[in-house]
Amino acid sequence: MATASDPKLDALRAHLRSLGSVLVCYSGGVDSAFVFAVAHEVLGDQAIAMTAVGPSLASFERVEAVEIARQIGGRHELVESHEIDDENYQRNGTDRCFYCKSELYRLSAAKLQEWNLGVAVNGTNLDDLGDYRPGLEAAKNSGIESPLVACGFTKEDVRRCAKLVGLGVWDKPAAACLASRLPYGTTVTRDRLERIGALEDALHRFGLRQVRVRFHTLDASEGTREAALARVEVHPQELEAAFAVRERIVAAGKDAGFAFVTLDLQGYRTGSHNELLQKRSLPIL
């Protein structure tokens, strides 16, 4: 990584240096990758990145996380996570992220001891504080540090400084776990996550960068694989490109096990399922 100077970047370096040793909860997204890159720069082998690997982590995201860590040059560990076994997580209420992050931070606490590190940190930035994110409560409960928040980083600051230090994924589109593609109240299962991940992998191979496959169940017939609809979101600027390969997208969706594949003309937007949040109980599907 390149050396560069910027007031916020220098503040982050000083903050991380003051922690002495850190475990970075690292997904491969630009925020946690940036924290890991700076932590590795100032702490060397006293900074270790940990990626929790479970069914909700897309295979292409895991591969990319490994490659980004290799480019950074620091130690990176893949650790198996088991949030899928938690009934609270499976039922997919509006607090699903709390249980997922609680598992992540349980693992980080155990690895802090095993690897003899001082503090677990994440990639939360100031912009993350404005959305509905129950995972922030899990971080608070577990004593997780958020260096980017402490040093006043917005998402724009992260991308700007990540580019300054030569991080190749400084402009990587926002990502989220595959379970976020399921509407609240739709049970999280391995099969549903596998179908979502398979179609998103295909969309990336077709050259689309910002994608989400929103899963909508059509039935839950006994003894057969349920019929489901894939609502594909791409960045508004990629709608034309997606339409140009629509036949390939439909074929990939069928191969992934979807009965129907649709393209959302509104395009990708962060947390589109949050648009439907109501103060009411959710049906379990």
Give yes or no for residue 101 having a pLDDT over 80: yes
- Given pLDDT bands bounded at 50, 70 and 90, which one contains residue 283? very low
Taking residues 77-97, report their average pLDDT: 96
Query: What's the first-to-final CA gap in the chain, in angstroms?
Result: 47
pLDDT of 281: 45
In the chain the domains, ranked by start, together with CATH numbers, are 7-164 (3.40.50.620), 178-276 (3.30.300)
Q: What tens digit of pLDDT does each residue of 145-202 get? A: 999 999 999 999 999 999 999 999 999 988 889 999 999 999 999 999 999 999 999 9
Whole-number mean pLDDT of the chain? 91
Q: Residue 223: its pLDDT value, please?
A: 53
Global pTM value = 0.89
Confidence check: pLDDT of 122 > 80: yes
Please write the tens of the pLDDT for every residue from 34-47. Answer: 999 999 999 999 99
Among 5-19, 34-48, 226-240, 268-282, the least confident range: 268-282
**Residue range 95-119: average pLDDT?**
96
What confidence score (pLDDT) does residue 161 get? 97
User: Which pLDDT score is estimated for 1?
Assistant: 57
pLDDT band at 269 (very low <50, low <70, confident <90, very high): confident
Least confident of 28-37, 95-104, 192-201, 274-283: 274-283
